Structure 1
Amino acid sequence: MGWWFGGREYCDENNGWTYLWAVQHNIPALVRLMGGERVFEQRLDELFHTIPATPRYDFWHRFPDATGLVGQFSMGNEPGFRIPYLYNYVGAAWKTQRRVRMLLDLWFKDNVFGMPGDEDGGGMSAFVVFSSLGFYPVTPGVPVYAIGSPVFSKATVRLPRGKQFTVIAWHCSVVNQYIRRAWLNEEVLYSPFFTHQ
């Protein structure tokens, strides 16, 4: 086992494709730095469609934690869970919806394979639970949720002091996974985000 095992000479437990997006504290600045919304969206598309260029044996030896691959995106390790939701920031929310539903269906079925990779501390389970409900907290510590694609036609989260947050997704299915309109407390949402409040 060499010093380069696990990709640690560059990026711990993952690769540059994943860490390129590790600016969750200022996503608009990352969009500008990449050259704007269309370029950002195209780079996200590349992430999910580019296969590793190195031979499989070498790739898996160097990046054993990069499991659950979809292109260069690793569903099996914590550094990238927010990435499918980044399409929401550049006017391509439908791609977030499609990608999240595909990832849930591909990697989190109720079968013998279980989850891809490590479940170190609940991050992967949190991705599955939040994403199944239809939203995800992209930036830790910032009380904003990005909307995805609910898996359930109705789900209720019990909150403190007897309150409830209920998600209703009429006619949702594997085929009908896109959101045309969304309301929060009977008010139309004009962006694919809502706040914790």
Structure 2
Amino acid sequence: MALLFDSALTAALGRELDRAWVGQRLEAVFFDGESRRVRLVFRENAWGWFLHPLHGVLVRIPPPPMNRRRRDRGILVGRRLVQRVEVEPDARRLNLKLTSESDEPDETLVFELVTNRWNAIYIVGRVRTVLHRRPGDPQFRSGAEWNPFISPRMWTDSLPDPAEWKTFLESGTIPDSEVTRRIAYLSSINEAAVFAGD
């Protein structure tokens, strides 16, 4: 059974991975399209990220034997340190920032955890333009300048304190039916707990 990620859970996972992985040496990354799995092989351990939306999960796995032939099949080999794990505010995307001990360009491993669209992409250097058009969205056209996701929802930078939240709910500024859609980090997964005050 898959974990269902909303932006709040993604942010929490990002903080946890940042604490656990920053400064760790990433030996290799293996993409397996058939099983929809990404394997991250660190010096001390390994993790498997199963990206199928019906059974997606991140788990610790036994590290594979890293002989020379196996290393060559990985996307990157050694000399990459995890610099930080970033999560864009109110988004379901983790950016694993990698840095090299030499003068090679920085790299990013991006995990997108949208409900029915779990993806991973490996980026070398900085992405400045989007190369493929996405229908229906004018920002995603060939050659357009790429801008990071900016949530249109309220309170993406910091959560309201309890008094501010109570005042907001009592004010009726947003109809009850739209609160979950308009407030950052709220989703159908966590709304019952939020409105119960947990």
Structure that is richer in helix per residue: 1
Same fold (TM over 0.5): no
Q: TM-score, normalised by structure 1?
A: 0.28
Structure that is richer in strand per residue: 2
Q: Looking at CA atoms only, which structure, 1 or 2, has the larger radius of gyration?
A: 2
Q: TM-score, normalised by structure 2?
A: 0.28
